[in-house]
C-alpha cells in the first residue's frame, strides 16, 4: 500500500526553518507506515503511525529531526552512532537495538511503552536520565553503573543482562537477594548450621563464579556441625581431640568448645561477607532484578519506599505481609 504523505507548506519568515530536501522526503516516504507532516515553525517531522527503518546501514537520520511519533519508532540493525534528531515523544516503542551507539544523548523525552537499546557500544547511560518510559532494555552493552537510567513508570523494569554493571551480573544479584532474605533468620545470624531442608537450594547458589558471592555461599552452606576444621587453630577437630595437636601442654579441648569457637567464626564471617557485597551494590540493583525474583523473595524484601513497584503488586505484597504477620501470631 502506498503511504499518503502530507506536510505543511510554509511561508518564508525569520521563524521558519528550511524545507526538507527531496532525499529526506523520499526517505520518510519509504519508511513511514502511515503519514508524516513537517512543521516549518519547529523544523520537526511528526509521524501519524510507525516509522520502521531496519537493516538499511543507516548512519544518521539524514538531517531529519523528529517530533511526535504516534506509533513506534524502530531503527534497529543499522550503523547509527548518534541519536541526534531522534523523536521527542514516541507513543509506542522506541528501538535502536544493534547499532553502534556510544551514548544515549538525544533519546526521546517520553516513550509511552518500551525503550530498547540492546547490543550497542554503550558504556554509560548518559543522556537517558530525562527519558520517561515503561520498560528499559539495555542488554549486551558495557554499562558499569545504573546512574542516569531512565525514569520508569510504576511496574516497569530495567534489563541489563550481559553488562558489567558493578561487580555482579543479574544471576549473581538474584542469588544475593535470596541470601539476603535468609540473612534475617536466626540460624544465619547466630552462626549455626543451615536447616537441612535448605541444603539443596544452597547447592544451587554455588553455581556463581563471583568470588565475593562464592565466599558468602560457602559460609552459609557450612556451620559448626558441617566443618572438619577447628578454625581458630587450623587443625583437624579429630586430631585435636585424639592427639592434642595444636594444644598447649596440659590444655584440653572438647567438641562443645570447638562448636562454640566455630559458631562465633561463622557468625562474624557471614556478617562481614554480607557487608562486603552490599557496599559494592549499585543503588538500582534491586530494581533491576525485581521482575526475576520469586513472590516469596519479593515479599520479604518489600518496603513501601520501593517506588518502582506497581500499585497492583504493592497491594498484593502488603496483603501477603499482613497475612503472614497474623499467621505468625496464631
Interval 147-202: pLDDT, tens: 888 988 877 778 887 787 766 777 888 899 999 999 999 999 998 888 888 888 88
Question: What element of type H or E holds 272?
Answer: helix 255-278
Mean local confidence (pLDDT), 83-104: 96
| Mean per-residue pLDDT over the chain, rounded | 83
Share of the chain above pLDDT 70, in %: 82
Q: What is the DSSP string of 190-223?
A: HT-PPPGGGHHHHHHHTT---HHHHHHHHHHH--
* CA distance linking residue 93 with residue 56, whole number of Å: 19
Q: Which among 108, 178, 164, 100 is positioned nearest to 136, based on CA atoms?
A: 108
Measured on CA atoms in the order 25, 28, 33, 39, is the torsion positive or negative? negative
Give this prediction's pTM.
Answer: 0.63
Kindly indicate the confidence band of residue 14, based on its pLDDT and cuts at 50, 70 and 90.
very low
Q: What is the pLDDT of residue 292?
A: 82
* CA distance linking residue 10 with residue 37, whole number of Å: 12
* CA distance linking residue 153 with residue 150, whole number of Å: 10
Residue 211 has a CB neighbour count (10 Å cut-off) of: 9
Inform me whether the pLDDT recorded for 286 exceeds 70: yes
The phi, psi pair for 114, rounded to 5°, reads: -100, 150
* CA distance linking residue 122 with residue 306, whole number of Å: 27
* CA distance linking residue 23 with residue 61, whole number of Å: 11
* CB 303, CB 287: distance < 8 Å: no
Amino acid at each position: 500500500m502506498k503511504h499518503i504523505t502530507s506536510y505543511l507548506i510554509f511561508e518564508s519568515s525569520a521563524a521558519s526553518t528550511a524545507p526538507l530536501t527531496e532525499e529526506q522526503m523520499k526517505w520518510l516516504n519509504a519508511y513511514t507506515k502511515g503519514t508524516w507532516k513537517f512543521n516549518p515553525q519547529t523544523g520537526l517531522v511528526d509521524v501519524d503511525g510507525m516509522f520502521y527503518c531496519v537493516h538499511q546501514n543507516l548512519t544518521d537520520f539524514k538531517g531529519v529531526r523528529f517530533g511526535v511519533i504516534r506509533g513506534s519508532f524502530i531503527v534497529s540493525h543499522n550503523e547509527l552512532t548518534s541519536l541526534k534528531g531522534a523523536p521527542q515523544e514516541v507513543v509506542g516503542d522506541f528501538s535502536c537495538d544493534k547499532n553502534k551507539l556510544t551514548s544515549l544523548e538525544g533519546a526521546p523525552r517520553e516513550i509511552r511503552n518500551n525503550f530498547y537499546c540492546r547490543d550497542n557500544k554503550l558504556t554509560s547511560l548518559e543522556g537517558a536520565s530525562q527519558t520517561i518510559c515503561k520498560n528499559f532494555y539495555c542488554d549486551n552493552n558495557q554499562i558499569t553503573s545504573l546512574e542516569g537510567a531512565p525514569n520508569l513508570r510504576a511496574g516497569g523494569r530495567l534489563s541489563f543482562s550481559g553488562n558489567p554493571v558493578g561487580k555482579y551480573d543479574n544471576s549473581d544479584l538474584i542469588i544475593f537477594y535470596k541470601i539476603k532474605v535468609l540473612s534475617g533468620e536466626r540460624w544465619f545470624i547466630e552462626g549455626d548450621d543451615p536447616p537441612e531442608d535448605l541444603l539443596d537450594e544452597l547447592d544451587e547458589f554455588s553455581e556463581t563464579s563471583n568470588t565475593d558471592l562464592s565466599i558468602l555461599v560457602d559460609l552459609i552452606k557450612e556451620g559448626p556441625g558441617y566443618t572438619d576444621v577447628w578454625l581458630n587453630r587450623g587443625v583437624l577437630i579429630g586430631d585435636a581431640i585424639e592427639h592434642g595437636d595444636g594444644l598447649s601442654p596440659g590444655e584440653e579441648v572438647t567438641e562443645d568448645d570447638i562448636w562454640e569457637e566455630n559458631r562465633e567464626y561463622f557468625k562474624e564471617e557471614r556478617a562481614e561477607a554480607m557487608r562486603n557485597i552490599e557496599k559494592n551494590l549499585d543503588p538500582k540493583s534491586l530494581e533491576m532484578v525485581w521482575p526475576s525474583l520469586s513472590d516469596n523473595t519479593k515479599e520479604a524484601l518489600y518496603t513501601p519506599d520501593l517506588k518502582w513497584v506497581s500499585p497492583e503488586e504493592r497491594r498484593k505484597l502488603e496483603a501477603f505481609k499482613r497475612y503472614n504477620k497474623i499467621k505468625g501470631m496464631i
